[in-house]
Every structure is written in structure tokens, then in C-alpha cells.
């Protein structure tokens, strides 16, 4: 069966520090991968998605970047965090082009102080 | 661009009663999918139910069912025999059926916080 791992679960970082959040999927190959951000009490906003290694689509101009160095690995990064980067970050995956459901990781709660 | 609107920020229901959560969406596409996700306090996103736009029959999953009104662009979720474990934030989501322009990304509403009273 497929599983998605996301870490760390919680992160507190000072303004101006770098960021690296990692997401990996097991049990499948060539998944579509997604990074979402959720502000407190709000819906999810898509940040990046990837349909293959090295293929990244950005949805919202921002202080963040994403990379996919391996087939089942998706990394969210920042060189210098802003206060506005605080939030709950969720990684998700699905497969193929049909109705395939997106499955979500457990999320990372990021606090930038 | 597609938008999803959930007009009820909060709802409450008595245990064992029935509650309906509203969702409307705006799209010019004819091929799409609609979903309801549940986010309990753990914040894990869990799929509740899905509906393909080309299907006229409303989807049902145990105590969860939808009322899909394509012409009205409405997609409400009905929870029957509500249980304490149903308490969560519920999100309605839209996905385009046109892979070439939209991939498989989801557009979410702002959510409805459901409280279940014992």
C-alpha cells in the first residue's frame, strides 16, 4: 500500500532563517506531488505541484520554492523566512490523470518568529 | 479560474441528528470532479466522498451523501446519524477534468467547522 511521509511535524524558525520541508511517498512510482499551505481556520492554498522529476509548477509568487530531486521526494524550501510564511503545510500525492484521489500527509506546523 | 464557496463557517448538530453542509462552485468547464474532505483536530485531511460531474446519481458513502445539482453548481454534504467523531472542519474541493491545463490540483473552499453536541 502507498504511504506519504512528511516531516518535521512542528517547526519554529526565526525570521530570515532557511527552511526545508520534506515529503516522500512510498509504494508507488511517478506520483503527482503537491504542496499546500493552510492559514489558521482557512482553506488550503496550492503552492506547487509536480508531475515528474524536475518538473515544478508554481501557483503563487512567493518566498518559497520547491524541488523534486527524486521520483517520490518533494521538498519545500526558503532561503529566508518571513513572518507571513507561518502556517500549516501539507504535502499530497495522487497518481495519473483520472479521478484519482489526492492523499495528504500529516502536515507541518511552521511558526516563524 | 474556478472558485469554491462554503457559506457556513460554522454548523452544529445534535448527536444522531442529520446535518447538511453547503458548497457552491463556479466553473465554465463541463468535466470536473468534486470532493468533500474532513479535517479533524489532528489536521489530517481525510477524503469523505467524491462525485464525478458526468454522473447524475448522487454519491453515497455510508452515513455521508451528497446532493449534486450541476445546473445550480451546488454540491452539499449530508451527514446522517451524526456521531461525535464527525466533529471536524469540512472542506469542499473542485478538480478540473482537463489535465493539460490544470493537472490534478484541487481548489478548496474556506471550510465549515462542524460541532457535534452530545
Sheet containing A3-7: give its strands across. Answer: A3-7, A19-26, A73-78, A65-70
Q: How far is A47 from chain B (nearest CA, A)?
A: 10
For residue A95, what pLDDT is reported?
Answer: 80
CA distance to partner chain A, nearest, from residue B89 (Å): 9
Cα(B93)–Cα(A44) distance, rounded to whole angstroms? Answer: 10
Percent of chain A with pLDDT strictly greater than 70: 96
Q: Does A94 touch chain B (CB under 8 A)?
A: yes
Residue pair A49/A76 in contact (Cβ under 8 Å)? The answer is no
Which pLDDT does position B93 carry in this prediction? 96
Q: What is the model's pLDDT at position B48?
A: 97
pLDDT exceeds cutoff 90 at A29? no
Could you read off the pLDDT of B70-107 as tens digits, one per residue? 999 999 999 999 999 999 999 999 998 877 666 678 99
pLDDT of A100 above 80: no
In chain B, the residue whose alpha carbon lies closest to the alpha carbon of A101 is B47
**Inter-residue contact B115 to B12 (CB < 8 Å):** yes
pLDDT of residue A101: 85
* pLDDT for the residue numbered B100: 66
With CA atoms as reference, report the closest residue to B64 among B74, B50, B53, B54: B50
Cβ–Cβ gap A49/B103 under 8 Å: yes
Helix, coil or strand: residue B84: helix
Give residue B102's pLDDT: 64
For chain B, the residues whose C-beta falls within 8 A of a C-beta of chain A are 4, 33, 35, 42-45, 47, 50, 52, 89, 91, 99, 103-111, 113
Closest C-alpha to B31, from B60, B3, B51: B51
Site from A44, A87, A92 to mutate, B interface, most B CB atoms within 10 angstroms: A44
Q: Is B111–A42 a contact, with Cβ atoms under 8 angstroms apart?
A: yes
Query: Closest partner residue to A57 among B42, B103, B113, by Cβ?
Result: B103
| CA distances, A93 to each of A83, A104, B20, B39, B47 (Å) | 28, 7, 29, 17, 13
Interface contact B103-A42, CB threshold 8 A: no
Q: What is the DSSP letter of B100?
A: H
Amino acid at each position: 500500500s502507498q504511504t506519504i511521509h512528511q516531516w518535521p511535524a512542528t517547526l519554529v524558525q526565526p525570521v530570515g532563517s532557511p527552511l526545508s520541508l520534506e515529503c516522500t511517498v512510498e509504494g508507488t512510482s511517478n506520483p503527482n506531488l503537491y504542496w499546500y499551505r493552510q492559514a489558521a481556520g482557512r482553506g488550503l492554498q496550492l503552492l506547487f505541484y509536480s508531475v515528474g522529476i524536475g518538473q515544478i509548477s508554481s501557483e503563487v509568487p512567493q518566498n518559497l520554492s520547491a524541488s523534486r530531486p527524486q521520483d517520490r521526494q518533494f521538498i519545500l524550501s526558503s532561503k529566508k523566512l518571513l513572518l507571513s510564511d507561518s502556517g500549516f503545510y501539507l504535502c499530497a500525492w495522487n497518481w495519473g490523470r483520472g479521478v484519482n484521489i489526492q492523499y495528504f500527509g500529516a502536515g507541518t506546523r511552521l511558526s516563524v518568529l | 479560474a474556478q472558485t469554491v464557496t462554503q457559506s457556513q463557517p460554522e454548523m452544529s448538530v445534535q448527536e444522531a441528528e442529520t446535518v447538511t453542509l453547503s458548497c457552491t462552485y463556479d466553473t465554465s468547464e463541463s468535466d470536473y470532479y468534486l470532493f468533500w474532505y474532513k479535517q479533524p483536530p489532528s489536521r489530517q485531511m481525510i477524503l469523505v466522498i467524491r462525485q464525478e460531474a458526468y454522473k447524475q446519481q448522487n454519491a453515497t458513502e455510508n452515513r455521508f451523501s451528497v446532493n449534486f445539482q450541476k445546473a445550480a453548481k451546488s454540491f452539499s454534504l449530508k451527514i446522517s446519524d451524526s456521531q461525535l467523531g464527525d466533529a471536524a472542519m469540512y472542506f469542499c474541493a473542485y478538480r478540473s477534468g482537463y489535465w493539460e491545463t490544470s493537472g490534478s490540483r484541487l481548489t478548496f473552499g474556506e471550510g465549515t467547522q462542524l460541532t457535534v453536541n452530545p
